[in-house]
Structure 1
Amino acid sequence: MKIALLGFGVVGSGAYEIIASQPECGITVKRALVQTMRPGPVDGLLTTDMADILDDPEIELVAEAMGGLEPAYRYVLAALRAGKHVVTANKLLVCQRFRELNQAAAESGVQFRYTASAGGGIPWLFNLLRAKRLDEIQEISGCINGTSNFILGNMHKYRASFERVLSEAQRMGYAEADPSADIDGLDLQRKCAISASLAFSMVVEEQDVLTAGIRHITKEDIEWAEAHGMICKQMMHCKKVPDGISAYVEPTFLPNTLPEANLPVRSSIASLYGKYVGRLTFFGAGAGTLPTGMNMMQDVMDVMAGVGKLHVYTQPARIFNQEESHPYYVRCPGPLPKVQEQGDGWAVIGPMPVEEMHQLAKEKEAAGIPVFFAGLAQEA
């Protein structure tokens, strides 16, 4: 199968390296769309004109590795309408244009696959889809944001401040110059929405997922967690409730015996709980040139092998975060409800519905009061 790459950066170059090293896989990169032509060993493949890809009948599939919403959305939609399969690892694109792209693929009779958009190199979405064919998924959870895991892991390891570890993560390339998407939980919010959509056969929008981040965490919060036998991770949670699903992202203090608590700083983990199969957990490299490129190319191989299309979901999700309740650790000045225990600047409150806790934090932030909170998890 001859394919084209959209973008030749971290993920695109990783995908190309994998294909070039395994000619027996039957995939050939014929074109790679770039913003600016540059000399190099692959300059014969490069083009700055999308028409070179759309108008080439030999190119059957487009692998989008540009990132961002535009021009990725415009190019992917054009490729689908031109009758070409598309695979992508672009979580922002999948999350914000889920309906439109799935519909365009269905109308053209081609596949739109995106199992690398959540989990990087972990075959998370692929196995989630495989499990739900015969099982009823009850719950999903995971720590699949590499930047927050790097920051929190090193705060625990070195007893360092958030600001110091973030600066080091930026220096090493683990965090963007503007780290908001990672430290405010927005990256994980999108991955949660994509995962929940597939797990529960409904369209979960990113704004459906209540989200809190780690921007205001301190060394003192880490010390409190460790003193109570816990480790802090930024987690996504989604489960079936009587009238729909709950879906939220928040820092979580986990008992230090759990696999998620012992996650290495450069890895990711995601779990599902099925009615019949019970708990299944997937662990591995969550990001990077080769792991994500490999997962994208697995989607290409699935298209070649005729693996069934990803389903098109149109039913909007019914979100009920009021149904989910647990205790919280909170650090902020001023009075708090349902206090169980408190100390110098911190309190344990609840159990409290997730929706109420997130709303309380938003109200305090709107009043200029910084808040850090973390759900207190129990042993599995």
Structure 2
Amino acid sequence: MISFVQALLFTTATGAALRPRQANNGCCFQLASVGMVNETVLEDHVGDLLLGGTFQQGGFCLDKTTKTIQDSLRHNCFMRAPDYQFECYQGAVGTTAFDIAPPKADGKSYLTYDDSPGVFYACPIDSESYDIYSSDKADKTGCVSVALALVDETAACSATTSNSTLSIRSKPLHRIPLPTRPLRRQSSRQSCTIDASAPSLAPYQLHHNNSSVSSGSNDTSAEVVISRNYSTVFDYDIPDTFPPANTAGESSLCALQFRMPVCTTLPKGYPCYSFSGLEQEVLSNSGMTFHLVDDDGNATWNSTELHQVFPGENTTIGTFECGQAAGYGESRKMSWHVSSVRDFSLEFLQAGVGQSAQFQNGVGAWIVPCQ
């Protein structure tokens, strides 16, 4: 039996040569990312898995009974606390439960984990390579979501079934789709920690239109439609007392936060949302843009950035300086035009608006102060 040290010396000498498959008749495969980063999954000399670079291609086998993965050196693979990095080490055991989703419309099968849809995060190491993490990674600044597709898999993999990939398909707002698993994601370009008890402002009205020029508004309507053919403008009226001044009298940072609770956690009587699904977001790299169309304070804002929202998350869309510019009265007006990118669709009732004003823990976009 080859020792770990011997294997290390061998792989160092052979460079990018492929490791042999494990000698069994099970489900064995290689992996490649699909999304904003499209690279083969490689494995370095210490067991870290990465995308891009000069290390050799990783080979893996799934034990369908125990839902565990080993690399071609029979090292166990996992993503565990505190880093949640995808890696394979000799003797190490993690709690990650891996599975394989049935082939999608593109004909590919995808790796999933922990009964989730299989969203991974590629976080840059340098200009050419990325480390791979699970969705439990706390700080995803600079990371992008990807899926991991099976490549050159054995016949045994096609018999693997999975219940892990859940997505909410288009349904009327009054119906309750299947719940999805919670994920975590942060897309703020500035550091912003938001306390769960922080005060928050819902929009006071919504515009429903197909461009940034409003075709009319209804301050009693809370319905939001974001799709290929529809967009929505969110109008906010920010009092000069929001947020409360800090003791140092310094300027505060505020954020636009999008909340998307899992359907089963929504308040009684609040309808679930209609959603094109996590698979569609990750595999098509779809989502929304939040274009700042009106602001008395002239905030700096990236109106072209793609934002992806996932069930179970509060996503920081962006940050801006709180407060009111001189000469604009007692409140600050801000409006964002929200549009679909690459056929993303989401329909919901914005909590805090109109007849949904009583639902302060529902779905939608809120202005909140950063700590």
Task: Give the TM-score normalised by the residue count of structure 1.
Answer: 0.29
Kindly indicate which of the two structures has a greater share of residues assigned to helix: 1
Larger Rg: 2
